[in-house]
Amino acid sequence: MTVPLIPRETLFGNPERLSPQLSPDGRRLAYVAPHEGVLNVWVSTLGTEDQRVVTRDRKRGIRSCFWALDGSRILYMQDADGDENWHLWSAEPDTGVIRDMTPYLGAQAHLVALDPERPSEALVALNLRDARAHDVYRIDLESGATALVETNPGDVVGWLADARMEVRAATVATPDGGFALRVRDASDSEWRTIVTWGPDDEGQAHAFSRDGQEIYLSSNLGTDTKELRALDLASGGERTLASHPEVDVDDILEHPRGHAVRAARFALDRAEWRAVDPSVAVDLERLSDPARGDFAVVSMDLDDRQWVVLYSADRAPASYYLYRRDTGDIEYLFSARPALEEATLAEMRPVRVPARDGLVLHSYLTIPPWCEPRGLPLVLNVHGGPWARDTWGYDPEAQWLANRGYACLQVNYRGSAGFGKRFLHAGDREWGAKMHDDLIDAVEWAVREGIADRSRVAIYGGSYGGYAALVGAAFTPDVFACAVDIVGPSSLRTLIASIPPYWEPLRRMFYHRIGNPETEPEFLDERSPLHRAADIRCPLLIAQGANDPRVKQQESEQIVEAIRSRGGEVEYMVFEDEGHGFARPENRLRFYTAAERFLAARLGGRVEE
């Protein structure tokens, strides 16, 4: 069987449309689509063809948008060249007026709350007063007037408002590397701590109940996996609403007016929804369609009559549907990348990889669709985070690699999030050690199963995955034929020393999970590929965004210099208008062109000329 090459432009260029959002009245749809080659916000009236662009970004592109609840404007977040100093922007479809609602140089904005009872206002967290701390401001979306409503004492990393749009909960970082939840009964009441999660526990507050007497949260206090719970603010008692014995709750479905949690999602190999509110059980059953893929509800109108649903499948691009609750009708809206619908895509297979100490690593294997999994060149594609995870569904890199003739193995190594706290914290202080052992065990598993050719294995990844690629080249130089590092740190000491100022409250968490450069610099150096650069023998491709606020350009520069000073082979790419990853399509295509040629020269895969 001959499978045509899928053009890189089809895989990594701009999508045709994505991120659809229903207007509050359910009559219009906002979405992101290219305009003059750059992603911008468009609006159309449902049931018509009156599509029109409402923003005029000419450089970086807009990735997502959402409606202000008065329905007169669309809001979106945008930074400058990847610096992650997000601004909140407003675009009015009917007037064409576009405004930066947080026009403060060097400040970063996060949306805290919108509420239908005060539809022309927004609560926004801004580190305007202190780069290390986000205070809460109330912004009038009509006039632009901004007023400070809550000052951060220095340890708050997240704010939560109730149904009256009053800030009544705060997640704080604790000195031991854990977190706590502070609440108060009213905006003029004293704060009190109601939950404390130690450094080996996890929890997150999601929403207040409509009456303000409960908070919905995910928590693993007393359990291994995070459950969806309701916390009574008066008594401190908790009741479990949904749980899974093997994985954490990873998404929730709220009422469009907020303050009511109706379902929870869990994902072991694939995603499944569980109803908390019986009134949505029939909706979840109607939407469950394994042939279409796993689904998520991405937008609703305020009357809860229409939902926009995203389906993700391994062998199809993301597709969006309009679901009408009263009739049960599911109407196709559009595909993010319709050109892929005619392509031969590869199956992503959930696999279990045994680690040497008995842990089970839930992983995904994608094989070229024209051949059996026997003696193939293998790309070990390591996810970033590391406190994140790989999931089942359409993955452009997995499809690109499989289409070029490689087996792509994605491993949820220890330290990955979503599989309970024992698995997550099995990665504490194991960067470059047991976390890397898991990746080597995955390679050995693939060789032992006959899937991979031992002499043709590459390690590839971004962020933590880039670090893992450098570790693979430096710590296990006989395993990998080549390595690709995208914005990966080379020194754990310099990584922690250069964290963005707004991550300062999280410093103790980094010390607990990675190591403390103040008290154990030698330990961190032992886990840093920069200090083992002399052992690197395989060719490397390193790509870096010049404006990356998380992994500074220094991280790439210093290991490139260390390799080149010893006569090593490294191809180095710097993108002057990017940050932690590559947002602009021309930059993505430039990188993937180089990566494709780099891998083919060492592993023998196919190349699009």
Active site residues: 463, 548, 580
Amino acid at 252: I
Alpha helices in 123-185 (DSSP H): none
**Judging by DSSP bridges, how do beta strands 87-91 and 28-35 pair with one another?**
unpaired
Inter-axis angle of helices 396-403 and 585-603, nearest 10:
40
List b or e across 535-560, with b for residues whose CB sees 16 or more CB atoms inside 10 angstroms: ebebbbbbbbbbbbbbbbebbbebbb
Question: In angstroms, rounded to a whole number, what is the distance separating the alpha carbons of residues 491 and 497?
Answer: 10
Place of tokens 């010390």: 511
**Structure-block tokens of residue 130:** 């202190």
Residues 99, 100, 103, 107, Cα dihedral to 10°: 170
Question: In angstroms, rounded to a whole number, what is the distance separating the alpha carbons of residues 6 and 405?
Answer: 12
What three-state secondary structure class fits 85? coil
Helix (H) or strand (E) holding 251: strand 249-254
**Structure-block tokens of residue 273:** 């929804």
Q: Which of 363, 412, 358, 359 is nearest to 389 (CA)?
A: 412
**Judging by DSSP bridges, how do beta strands 348-354 and 330-335 pair with one another?**
unpaired
Cβ atoms of residues 429 and 515 within 8 Å: yes
What three-state secondary structure class fits 95? coil
> Can you give the C-alpha Rg of the chain in angstroms?
24
**Structure-block tokens of residue 329:** 């009708």
Question: In angstroms, rounded to a whole number, what is the distance separating the alpha carbons of residues 370 and 19?
Answer: 33
Instruction: Please enumerate in sequence order all residues whose Cβ is within 8 A of that of 222, keeping only pairs 6 or more positions apart, or say none.
Output: none
Give the sheet arrangement for strand 261-267, strand by strand. 249-254, 261-267, 271-275
